[in-house]
Amino acid sequence: MQTEELKEFLEAKVRQYNQSSFIKHDPVQIPHLFNDQQDIEIAGFFSAVFSWGQRATIIKKSRELLERMDMQPFVFIKQAEEKDLAVFDHFAHRTFNSTDCRYFVKVLQHIFKNHDTLGSFFQTIYVKSDGMAMALSKFKQEFFSMPHEKRTEKHIADPLKGSTANRLNMFLRWMVRKDEFGVDFGLWKMIPPSALYLPLDIHSAHIARELGLLSRNINDWKAVEEVTENLKKFDPEDPVKYDYALFGTGVFEKL
């Protein structure tokens, strides 16, 4: 495709998939169950961390976890004592298990003791970092600063070690982007959408290569940087809106 033709294609696909109807098919429906910012952040964070595998299972297990917190994640996390964490016994989603649940809740409790929102915690890291990759890496360092089992670290990616960090980038898209279509929440206002990176999964990567937006043949952080830079040519202020185009086309259509 020529540049203008490609832009028209991407814009059309954004309009097609960046709609409220997208919510019911996607893990973003989980934070949409809530109204208060802290509940949205917690629900979104867990559903993003769980986002690998079949989407129906991701949604089911995210909801199950929140039900174990009586669908009041912020209240539960703020008030939880050690004995209360027994509600996570025997919970598992793929390799994320009850041990991981306990640690995540303890860390989030610590964060909320020092910050009003998860957004203020992350944004404090972001403003002290040289770019989003460093911010995500520092976020992981901070998140695992309490005593924990080493295996739990695999649930948070580090782009400085080459990971696509697609689940964290998806979570950031949810929290940072804001438009009239109502899928993304736009809660974290200190971070501009222009600073975001594409959540690169197998679907969006395949379509990006088909469209000539990605030449790198492995999915890693360098690939994320390449495709995001190419998308900025079409919209430098909001490049990750094209996640809807690439992911939607990859999941729901044959190109």
In this predicted structure, the answer to whether residue 255 has a pLDDT above a threshold of 90 is no
Distance in angstroms (rounded) separating the CA atoms of residues 28 and 48: 8
What's the rounded mean pLDDT across residues 202-218? 97
What's the rounded mean pLDDT across residues 1-5? 87
What is the token pair recorded at 170?
């998806």
Residues 173-198: tens digit of each pLDDT = 999 999 999 999 999 999 999 999 99
Residues 75-108: tens digit of each pLDDT = 999 999 999 999 999 999 999 999 999 999 999 9
Average pLDDT for the chain: 97
Backbone angles phi, psi at 192, to 5 degrees: -75, 145
Of the pLDDT bands very low, low, confident and very high (cuts 50, 70, 90), residue 27 is very high
Of the pLDDT bands very low, low, confident and very high (cuts 50, 70, 90), residue 254 is low
pLDDT at residue number 243: 98
In this predicted structure, the answer to whether residue 253 has a pLDDT above a threshold of 90 is no
Distance in angstroms (rounded) separating the CA atoms of residues 230 and 246: 13
Residues 132-157: tens digit of each pLDDT = 999 999 999 999 999 999 999 999 99
The whole model's pTM is what?
Answer: 0.96
